Amino acid sequence: MIKIQNLHKTHGSGDASVKALKDINLTIEKGEMVSIMGPSGCGKTTLLQVLSGIDRMDSGEVWMDETPIHRLNDKQLSDFRLHHMGFIFQAYHLIPVLSALENAMLPILARGEPLKSAQAKAASALRQVGLEAKMDRLPAEMSGGQNQRVAIARAIAGAPRVIWADEPTGALDSESSEQIVGLLGMLNQTMNTTIVMVTHDANVAKASSRTIMMSNGRIVKSYEILGGTRS
């Protein structure tokens, strides 16, 4: 479970400062698939970055199960991210000179696991996303949808508690977008991994079990989605 209490975040300082998050309170249960929506600049990416510990909050509390994310130092945060979180970004963030398999292995190697174990976990994740035949391909040799599937394999290879996805379909055409959303929904159900996803696209949000609407740094609405993956 992720529990967020009285969370505030300001970017910059002085006259140029922007209050990006204002008193966010939210609980996300284990195994939920949650979409965060709202107009440009309302604070969606900032929320994802603060929850995942990529960025620091001004004040408030973020608990992941029994772990107080707000109290961890930089080293503890980076260890926690490596062991318990997976990340998917709009621009894939794959390393161009590495194959699909090598890209998917990276977070596991970064944890200090042996090469063989990293290879086995990455290969299994690539099979789960349907890329068993493309493990040796470089990012430039695959489509956008395939690259995003590699990124998803990289995110799930280490069996994280939560996957943070920032506009995972933002760079894809509608068909690839549908496939990626279907894949995330399937992984959410079969692995019971919590997924928190920022999206502009109401069709993408439909696949989740709950949508949270933000406006001007605040959560203004939260609603369950009938027909979503877990309803």
Distance, C-alpha 8 to centroid of its chain: 20
Distance, C-alpha 220 to centroid of its chain: 22
Residue of 7, 42, 165, 212 that binds ligand ATP (CB under 6 A): 42
- Span near ligand ATP by CB under 6 A; candidates 10-18, 62-70, 174-182, 204-212: 10-18
Place of tokens 């590699």: 150
Give the C-alpha separation, 164 to 34, whole Å.
10
Give the C-alpha separation, 105 to 174, whole Å.
29
Q: Are 68 and 79 in contact (CB under 8 A)?
A: no
Q: Does 22 bind ligand ATP (CB under 6 A)?
A: no
Give the C-alpha separation, 68 to 2, whole Å.
10
Give 44 or 70: the residue with its C-beta nearer to ligand ATP: 44
For residue 94, how many other CB atoms are within 10 A of its CB? Answer: 23
For residue 181, the minimal CB distance to ligand ATP (Å) is 18
116 to 155: interface string for ligand ATP, x by CB under 6 A: ----------------------------------------
Q: Does 12 bind ligand ATP (CB under 6 A)?
A: yes
Residue of 8, 11, 22, 134 that binds ligand ATP (CB under 6 A): 11
- Shortest CA distance to 151 belongs to which of 107, 188, 115? 107
Give 20 or 181: the residue with its C-beta nearer to ligand ATP: 20
For residue 168, the minimal CB distance to ligand ATP (Å) is 13
Residues lying near ligand ATP in the complex (CB under 6 A) are found at 11-12, 18, 20, 38, 40-46
